[in-house]
Amino acid sequence: MAKKRTEFVCQACGHRSIKWLGQCPSCKAWSSLSEEVAEARGGEVRPAWGAGGTGLAPTPIRAIEGDEAARIRTGIAELDRVLGGGVVPGALILLGGDPGIGKSTLLLAALDRLASSGGGRPVLYVSGEESLRQTKLRGDRLGASSENLLLLAETDAERVLAQAEKLAPLALAVDSIQTLFLPELGSAPGTVSQVREVAGRLMAFAKRTDTPTFIVGHVTKDGSIAGPRILEHMVDTVLYFEGEASHTFRVLRAHKNRFGSTNEIGVFEMRSSGLSEVADPSALFLAERPVGQPGSVVTPTVSGTRPLLVEVQALVAPTQYGTGQRKSIGVDPNRVALLAAVLERKLGLSFGPCDIFVNVAGGVELDEPAADLAVCAALVSSRVNVAVPASAVFFGEVGLAGEVRAVTAGDIRLAEASKMGFSSAYLPATNLRRLEAPELPLVGVSSVRELLEALFPDLQLQAS
């Protein structure tokens, strides 16, 4: 019998080496190489999932039936929004997030609703981390009681696929991909070879049978899906469940979606009975806003088609050290440092001997430049200890010359602000000229100087 050949595989990026190395030469991770049995190269023919079961005959695109209405609704509106209107048959969906964030809770609730509205077809939930009794206890807390929701506690991927073939479920979920293994590979569950091969088998099953398949993935310390990066390339959709342990809000965001937009977000609130959808997140994020306090500014942000009002808080305080700190939560720290430099250089406001702290209340991440104007207003408001108008919202991009540039979806932002009871808005002058029927009184500004002169008329600014 031929001796099995072993090799060392990086568990972070999948790099292979014939000998052990302390640092991976590809991703530079330390102590990430583990010994595995070398996989056989070539000779294996994968079963195809194309028309007629062969997938070899090319088909004209006009002859292929494709109906957007064929999407399957999960019954959770926020999840359907992020998926692009529902689950596409045959889609392979990867759900990631920090431990305890609510991935399994969301998935079990969605599968229960699918099973209740699936016309009698079963839905299979495979748990490799919990026993059936533990999963049942979580289901009782969520109120999951559909007779068509079937539970399976198994880690052998071959047995899982055999059960899926036998049941022909409406949907399949695996929690988590790192716990499943294929005995013939000989390596431990969760290794690169196991994760890649199991994901490939699940993908083949999903495409061949048109079964939507959800897989849960663990997240590493840096916030990325554990395992090889090829896992994210193989799936159709990558969903991240984001949120802080100290906040009750959870944001579901699509980082990749072959069947919809990646800009949509879903907002949930963690309660004792499980995750609850938040239909009006703007009201929830502004519920505890301190009205009339310096450094507190409201900005309308847009994620996909959803407008969202959030509070930007800034605190500027004298530093106890030689150089001031620049720290932020929810906003890129480099962006905050850039805006502070613009205010110093163009307007003569001194932030050098001060610590600057910026926070977006509620744990929301602002990744668009439209929040620049709100950050500038919050910084100056805290610096001079004067509150901005509590009934105003601010949005606009700020350039290095201090100019205020137009942003997209200005009408949607204003409509959301008007709905929430705000009576004025400060926005780029270019956006103001494009509006046909403003929702509320507007103040168009073409530079940060114009904004500060309108907000703080007694503030002495440096001549340009």
- pLDDT per position as a tens digit, 121-146: 999 999 998 999 999 999 998 888 89
One-character DSSP codes across 240-299: EEE--TT-SEEEEEEEEETTS-SS-EEEEEEETTEEEE-S-HHHHHTTT--TT-TTEEEE
Binding residue numbers for ATP? 97-104
pTM of this structure: 0.76
- Encode pLDDT of 316-335 as tens digits: 999 887 778 899 999 999 99
> Domain 70-279 belongs to what topology?
Rossmann fold (3.40.50)
d(CA 321, CA 325): 9
Instruction: Please check whether the domain covering 284-455 is classified as CATH 3.40.50.10490.
Output: no
Structural tokens at position 148: 């068509």
Cis peptide before 272 (omega within 30 of 0): no
Res 306: pLDDT:
84
Identify whether the C-beta of residue 231 lies closer than 8 Å to the C-beta of residue 94: yes
- Encode pLDDT of 41-56 as tens digits: 444 444 445 544 445 6
Residue ranges per domain, the chain?
6-37, 70-279, 284-455
Binding residue numbers? 97-104
With 70 as the cut, is the pLDDT of residue 448 above it? yes
Contacts with 34 (C-beta within 8 Å, 6 or more apart), sequence order: 8, 9, 11, 191
Is it true that 70-279 and 284-455 share their CATH fold? no
CA nearest 389: which of 326, 276, 282, 298? 298
d(CA 246, CA 235): 31
- Encode pLDDT of 410-420 as tens digits: 999 999 999 89
135-144, 186-195, 197-206, 292-301: segment of lowest average pLDDT:
186-195
Q: What number of residues does the chain have? A: 464
With 90 as the cut, is the pLDDT of residue 91 above it? yes
Res 464: pLDDT:
63
Residue 245 binned pLDDT confidence (cut-offs 50, 70, 90): low
